[in-house]
Structure 1
Amino acid sequence: MLSSSSTTSSMLPSHDTVTSDRRCVAMETYWREVHSIEEEKEGEEEEEERKSMDEVELEEAWLTEAGLSSLVTGSVAAEETLPPAEVLLSTLTRQQVTTVRRRLDNYNETLKKRNRQPIRDVRDVFTEPDDDSADRCPSPPSHHAESPPSHHHTTTKTIRRNAHRVRPTLPMFVYEDQLPEHPSSPTNTHSPTNTHSPTLTPSPPHTHLPPTGRLRRADWLLRDTPYSEGVSEHKRGGTCWDCLRFHGDNNSELQFVPVSPSEGLTCADDLSSCDLTRLGFISHIEVSTFLLALGVQTKRTRPPRRRTRDSGVFGVPLNSLLENDKKKFPGVKVPVVFQKLLCILEQTGLQTEGILRVPGSAARLKYLRRELDRCSGAFDWSAVRQVDAAGLLKLFIRELPTPLLTHTHLSTYRSLLGVSSEVHQVQALQLLSLLLPEVHRDTLRALLVFLRKVVFHQDQNRMSVWNVSMVMAPNLFTCCHRGNKSSIAKQREEMEEAVGAARLIRLMITHQDLLWTVPTFLLLQVRHMNQVSNQKQLGLSRTTRRLLRRRNDKNDRNQVTELCEGVIRVQAPRHTKVSMAIQLDEQMTARDVTSRFECEDTPVQHLYEVGGNICERRLHPDCLLLDVYRVNPHCDWLIKP
C-alpha cells in the first residue's frame, strides 16, 4: 500500500508495491516531474476526459488516413491530388490487403446495423478480375541477382453510373506472394553517415555514438518484405527471424544503426512531398497490419477540446509558428523559439548536474511565459537561465494544441507497450515516425538530437538515458496522476503506464537514427504506386500496358547493358556547367558525380533522381549509381543544393 502522507515523496508511488521489473527502479524522477506539472496547472481548467470513438468514426478515420477516403465518402475531388483507391490497393501485400478488407467490412457491418448505406458503392470503382487481371503492373526492376517473389496485387477499374448503392466490398485479388523462410539481406552494404540534421541544432556525425564494435546492425531495413510479413510466422507457430536473431540479447542498451543498401539510404527528408504523402498511406496500413500480426490492439480516442491561439508562443500550433518564422527565416524547419531554448540548454546546461530534472521557480516560469507570448520577437533571451530554459522547453511541448506525437498516433504509441520484442518496438516506432506531419517530425528530431547530447554528457550532468526518459515521458505523453486515493489495481496500472512511457522515450533516444529512415520495402511500394499511377494517367488499356511492359522489360535489360559501357547525362542548371555526360561503372557513387561540379563559394550539392517511378529523391553520397539506374531506369539526374 502507498503511504497516505501528504509530503511530496509520499505522492510518488512506491515501485516495489506495483511492479517487480528490476529495470524500472528509481521512478521517483518521473513522479516528481508529474507533481511539478500538476503544480503548474493549479487554477487552470482541467482537460475534459477523452472519449473513445465509435466504430463508424474509427474505421472512417482509419480509411481516410490510409488514402482510401473515396471508399467511404464517395468524393472524387481529392483524386486529382491523391492516388485513386485502386492504385494504392495494387501496391499492397496480402496481409496489408487483409487489414484493409477487415476495416472496410467492419465499417460496412456497422453501417448495416444502423440501417445506413455508404455514400459510394465500391463496386462503382472496382470489378472482379477477369482473365487479364493476372497481368500485374510491373514493379520496379530489382538490382539483385535473384529477385524475390512479388508481393503486390492488382485490380481493374470500371466506372458504372447507376443509382443502386449496396454494401461495398474489396475486389478479389490474385495472390502470388510467398513468405520466405529466412528474410535475406543484400551483402553489398555501406557504412551509414548522418547527412541531414535539424536546422540550427546539428548533430556532428558519430559524436554521440558508441564504438563501432558495440553497435547492432539494423539490416531489416534492406528487406523487400514488409515487417508484417516477417512476424506472421508467430501466428503459424514458427519463429520470427528478428526474434530468433536478437532473442536473449543482453545488450538492449546498445544502439541499432541503419545499414545502407547499394542504391543508398533514404531518409524522410530525401523524398518529395508527393512521395511522402504516398509513403504515409502505406506506412499507416503497414503499422496496423504489423501490430495486428503481433496481437496488439489499438483504440483511438477523440482529441480533447483545447483552445488554439493564433498569436504568441505557447498553445500555438507548430504549423502556425513555423509559417510566421519562415517570413523572417526562409527555409527554417523547426520553430525558432524551440531552437532558441535548445541552444541555451546546449550552451549552458549540458554539463550541469540535473539538467531537465531540477525544476525552476513556478512564478518566474509564468512571468517568462507571459513575456514570450507578449513580445516573442523582441524577447531578451540573455535573461533566461538554464533552469528557466528547461522549464520553458517542457512547458512548450505540453502546451501544444496538437501533441508533438499527435492525437492520431498517441494511442498507437501507447499500444507498443504490449509488444514484447525490442526489435519490433523499434520497427513500429520507425513506421509511426514516418507518419508524423513534417513539422512535428522535424521538431521531434531536434528534441531527440538534443536529448542524446544530454546523455552523452551524463558523467558530468548525472542524467543517464533512463533519467532523461523519465523526465520527458510525462511531457510527451499525457499523464493523469490519480494520487493515493485510487485502488491498488489503479496504482499498478498507473505505474506500468509510467514505466512504459519512459521505455518508449528511451528507445526513441537510443535508436533515433532509425526513426527517420525509410525501409527498402516501403520505398519499393512507393515506386510501384507511382508507376501504376503514371500508367493510369496515360489511359492505357490492359492489353496495351501488357504489350508495352514486355517491350520495356526487354529495352530495360538492353539499356542497362549499354549503360555499363555508355554514359548518363547529369543536369546542373545552377552551375556554369549546365549538364555533363558521365560514364558509369560499377563503383561510381553520387559523391563522385557531385565532386565534378564542385566549385568555390557554392553550397553543398546533392544528386537527385527525378521522374520515372519516383517523384524526387535525394541520393545518399555513397549510393551506387548503376544500382539506382537499375531500380529506376527512366529517371533524370539533377544536381542542386
Structure 2
Amino acid sequence: MLVPAFVLGPERRHARLTMEVEDSGGVVLTAYHSYARPQPPSSEPRCAPRAAASHPGSRKSIPRCRRINRMLSNESLQSPAFSRSNSQASVDSASMEDFWREIESAKESSMGALEEPTPAEAKPVDGRMLEGELEAEWLEDVGLSALISGDEEEDGKALLSTLTRTQAAAVKKRYNTYTQTMRKKNKHPVRDVRDIFGVSESPPGDTCDSHPSQLDDTREEKELPGIIKTGGSLSILETIPDTPVHSNGSADPGQSVQNAVSDDDYLEKNISSETEELSYEVSYSEMVTEAPKRNKLKKSDFKKEDYVLPKFIVQKTRFGLTEAGDLSAEDMKKIRHLSLIELTAFFDAFRIQLKRNKTEKVKGRDSGIFGVPLTVLLDSDRKKDPGVKVPLVLQKFFEKVEESGLESEGIFRLSGCTAKVKQYREELDAKFNADKFKWDKMCHREAAVMLKAFFRELPTSLFPVEYIPAFISLMERGPHIKVQFQALHLMVMALPDANRDTAQALMTFFNKVIANESKNRMSIWNISTIMAPNLFFSRSKHSDCEELVLANTAAHIIRLMLKYQEILWKVPAFLITQVRRMNEATMLLKKQLPSVKKLLRRKTIERGVTSPKTSKVLQKSPSTRRMSDVPEGVIRVHAPLLSKVSMAIQLNSQTTAKDILAKFHCENSHGSSEYIKIQNQRLYEIGGNIGQHCLDPDAYILDIYHANPQAEWVIKPQPSV
C-alpha cells in the first residue's frame, strides 16, 4: 500500500519522497525529482525562497536533504531495484544528495544559457496513426524503408536474407502492425508481408488470418528470408538455419543453440557471481529463446554489500575481438541496423515491448558550442582535423580536468563561479571555432561545470532515454547483470557513430576520475548519479514515480558502462558475421540483372567472343587472375609505408596477425625510424565480404582467409581515436 508522501517544498514540482510497504513487511523508500530540461524560473514572489534555498552554498536545502538521507540509512529500507545493506547506506545518502545538487545546479545554469533550442513543429496524430508511424520509423531506422516505399533496394534485400529466426520474427511483428494500421487508415496499398517472408499459401482445410498481411507469430518459423527478386517481389531463397550463427561465417550443424548455453535456465545461469564468461559468437536473442525453462524468471540473490558488479571475461574467438572503430563506416552502419533489430528481438524474447515514444523533436543551433548537435560540431572540427571522432571542445574539457582536477575533492559536485562560467560559455561560442579562446585562464572547476552543461544542452540526449522503460522492465524481472549487459551492449552498438564515439571517450575520462577516488571522493556511484540527469534527459512529461525510476535506471546504466568499459565497445562477432553475409548477398543481387539487360549482355558477349581485342579479357577476370597467382593458403601482404612493401606469407592454423607484423618487423628493423613505423602498424582485411577490418593481433589469419578468400591484406597505421 502507499503511505502519505513527504514533500520537500510547497509545490508539486519539488522533490518528493514516498514510502511503499511491500508484502514482506519491508518499506521501500523512493524519491522523485524531475530531471527534464530545466525551464527558467517564474518571476512570481513565491519562487524566491526556493531559488535561494537551492543554491549549492545555501544552508537551508542541504540539512533538509540530510534529514531525508538519514531515513535511507534505516535497515528496513531498501531500493525498489536492488537490495541495500548497512554498509551501502552512506553511499546511498551521498549519492542522493549529489543528485539533488545536480538538479538544482542544472536549473541555475539554464538561466545562463544563451538561447533555448527551438522545438520542431509537431503535427497532431491520433493513437492508431501514431502507432503506425512509430513502426514505420522503426523499419526506416533498421534500414528496411524499402518495405514501406516498395522500392527494390539491394541493401534491404541483403539485410533480410541474413536475419536470424528471432530477428525475422521481430521485423514481421513490426511490419504486421504497420500494415494493419495503414489499411485501417485507408492509406496507399502496402505490400503483403508474405511477399517479403515468402509464406506459402495455406491448404484449404487450414484456418488462416482474415488479414492477409498479418502473420501468426505462433506459427512454426522454418521459412525465413533468404531473398532474391522474383516477379517484382521478394520471396524465399533459403531457410534460416536452426543452428547458431558463429563468427566464422558458418553454422555449426553439430551444436544447436540450446547447447550453446548450459542446460540450466538462462536467467538462473546468469545470476551474478564473482567472475563470469561472456560469448559474442551467438545471437543474444537466440540464446534466450532456445534456453530451456526460459519462462522461469527466478529472482537473483545479487546484493550490494560490497557494491561490486561481477567481473566478465569475454571469450576471444579465433577471429579475435573487434572495436567499433576497427570497421569501415559503411559496415558500422549495417552493424547499427542489425543491433537495433537484435535489441528489439532480445526484448521480445522476454516479452518486453521495446517501443519508443514519439518525443518532441528539438532543432539545435547551427553554430557555437552549447546546444549544437554532435554531428554539426564534428563537421566543423574535421575541417581542422579530418580524423577527429570526438568534438574538440569536449577533448579540451577533458584535458583541463586531467591537468589539475583529477585529485580535486568533489570535482563534479562543485558548481564553480557562476559569473565566470557564463563568461566562458559566451566566449567559447564566439571564439572556439576561430581558435581564439584562451584556455589557460580556465580552471578545472569551470571546465567540469561546462562539461556537464555541454551534454545537458544537446538537442537530443546522448543516450536514448526512450529505451529506458524497456530496460526497467528487464530489471524488474530480476537484476541479472549479464542480461542487462547484453541489452546495454546492443543499445551501444545501435548508437549513431558520433554518440558512440563520444560516449566511449566520456567513460574513459570518468574512469580516470574514479581511479583517484581516494583523493577526489568521486566514486562510480557519485559519478553515475551526478551524470544521469545530464546524459539521459527527456522533455516528455512523466508521473512522479516514473521520473524516479527513470533516474535510478539511468544511473545504473552509467554504472554498467563505467564498469564494463573495456568490453562494452567490442562488436559482437555474430553481428560481424551477419555483415559479411549482407555484403555477399548484396554482391550477388547486383549480379542478377533484369531479363532485358541479361539479353543485351548476352549479345554483347557473343559479339565479343569473335573479337580478338576482347577475347583475352573475357577469358580471365582480374579477380580470377589475382587468385590464381597466389597458391591456396598463401596471402600477399602489402605494406606501402614500409621499406619492405610486399611479402607472400604461407598460412597455417596458428598464424596470427601479430606473427605477420613480426615478420615485417624483422624485414624493416634496419633503422630507428622504421622501428617506430612498424610499432604503430596494424594488419587490415580489406574488400571481399567486408569493407575494412582492423584485425586483432591475436586473430588467426587462416580462419579469416577461409571466411573471406577475396580479401586483400594491408599493413598500415591505425587511426587515433
With the length of structure 1 as denominator, give the TM-score of the two structures: 0.77
Alpha-carbon contact 1:257-1:511 (below 8 Å) kept: no
From 151, 158, 181, the equivalent of 2:258 is 181
Q: Distance in 2 between the 1:359 and 1:404 partners? A: 22
Corresponding position: 1:107 with 2:171: no
Which residue number corresponds to residue 469 of structure 1?
A: 528
- Structure 1 pair 303–535 and aligned structure 2 pair: CA distance change class (3 A): same
Shift of 1:459: 0.9
Which residue number corresponds to residue 84 of structure 1?
A: 155
Q: Which moved more, 1:518-527 or 1:67-76?
A: 67-76
Q: Which moved more, 1:20-29 or 1:410-419?
A: 20-29
- Structure 1 pair 491–404 and aligned structure 2 pair: CA distance change class (3 A): closer
1:126-163 C-alpha deviation (Å, 9 max, x unpaired): 76679xxxxxxxxxxxxxxxxxxx998523321439xx
Q: Which moved more, 1:358-367 or 1:61-70?
A: 358-367
Q: Distance in 2 between the 1:122 and 1:153 partners? A: 11
SS in 2 for 1:449: helix
From 102, 105, 118, the equivalent of 1:36 is 105
Corresponding position: 1:346 with 2:399: no
Q: Distance in 2 between the 1:383 and 1:498 partners? A: 35
| Aligned residue identity for 2:557 | L
Alpha-carbon contact 2:314-2:567 (below 8 Å) kept: yes
- Mapping of 1:221-240 within 5 angstroms? 221=280, 223=281, 225-233=282-290, 237=294
Alpha-carbon contact 2:223-2:239 (below 8 Å) kept: no
Which residue number corresponds to residue 642 of structure 2?
A: 575
Which residue number corresponds to residue 418 of structure 1?
A: 473
- Mapping of 1:249-328 within 5 angstroms? 252-328=308-384
Shift of 1:497: 2.2
Please provide the CA RMSD for this pair: 3.7
Alpha-carbon contact 1:91-1:152 (below 8 Å) kept: no
From 438, 441, 462, the equivalent of 1:380 is 438
Q: Distance in 2 between the 1:352 and 1:518 partners? A: 35
| Aligned residue identity for 2:519 | Q
- Structure 1 pair 593–173 and aligned structure 2 pair: CA distance change class (3 A): closer
Shift of 1:87: 1.6
- Mapping of 1:196-235 within 5 angstroms? 216-221=275-280, 223=281, 225-233=282-290
Alpha-carbon contact 1:215-1:257 (below 8 Å) kept: no
| Aligned residue identity for 1:528 | R
Q: Distance in 2 between the 1:634 and 1:481 partners? A: 50
Alpha-carbon contact 1:608-1:619 (below 8 Å) kept: yes
Larger radius of gyration: 2
Shift of 1:426: 0.9
- Structure 1 pair 86–328 and aligned structure 2 pair: CA distance change class (3 A): closer
- Structure 1 pair 74–480 and aligned structure 2 pair: CA distance change class (3 A): closer
From 460, 464, 473, the equivalent of 1:402 is 460
Q: Distance in 2 between the 1:59 and 1:400 partners? A: 26
Q: Distance in 2 between the 1:354 and 1:631 partners? A: 51
From 96, 106, 111, the equivalent of 2:167 is 96
Shift of 1:630: 2.6
| Aligned residue identity for 1:448 | M
SS in 2 for 1:639: strand
Q: Distance in 1 between the 2:179 and 2:508 partners? A: 44
Corresponding position: 1:160 with 2:229: no
With the length of structure 2 as denominator, give the TM-score of the two structures: 0.69
| Aligned residue identity for 1:259 | Q
- Mapping of 1:493-512 within 5 angstroms? 493-512=546-565
Alpha-carbon contact 2:373-2:459 (below 8 Å) kept: yes
Alpha-carbon contact 1:590-1:621 (below 8 Å) kept: yes
Alpha-carbon contact 1:253-1:510 (below 8 Å) kept: yes
- Structure 1 pair 628–453 and aligned structure 2 pair: CA distance change class (3 A): same
SS in 2 for 1:597: helix
SS in 2 for 1:467: helix
1:196-215 C-alpha deviation (Å, 9 max, x unpaired): xxxxxxxxxxxxxxxxxx98
Shift of 1:624: 1.4
Q: Distance in 1 between the 2:511 and 2:422 partners? A: 28
| Aligned residue identity for 2:105 | S
Corresponding position: 1:65 with 2:149: no
Which residue number corresponds to residue 449 of structure 2?
A: 391
Shift of 1:504: 0.8
Q: Distance in 2 between the 1:361 and 1:316 partners? A: 24
From 490, 508, 523, the equivalent of 1:431 is 490
- Structure 1 pair 38–47 and aligned structure 2 pair: CA distance change class (3 A): farther
Shift of 1:415: 2.4
Corresponding position: 1:117 with 2:188: yes
1:519-570 C-alpha deviation (Å, 9 max, x unpaired): 12111111111112222222289xxxxxxxxxxxxx9xxx9xx756xx3211
1:91-112 C-alpha deviation (Å, 9 max, x unpaired): 1111111111111010010011
The structure with higher relative contact order (CA 8 Å, sep 6+) is 1
* Percent of residue pairs identical: 38
SS in 1 for 2:383: helix
- Structure 1 pair 58–410 and aligned structure 2 pair: CA distance change class (3 A): same
Q: Distance in 2 between the 1:640 and 1:152 partners? A: 41
Corresponding position: 1:55 with 2:131: yes
Q: Distance in 1 between the 2:486 and 2:223 partners? A: 20
Which residue number corresponds to residue 423 of structure 2?
A: 367
| Aligned residue identity for 1:36 | S
SS in 1 for 2:571: coil
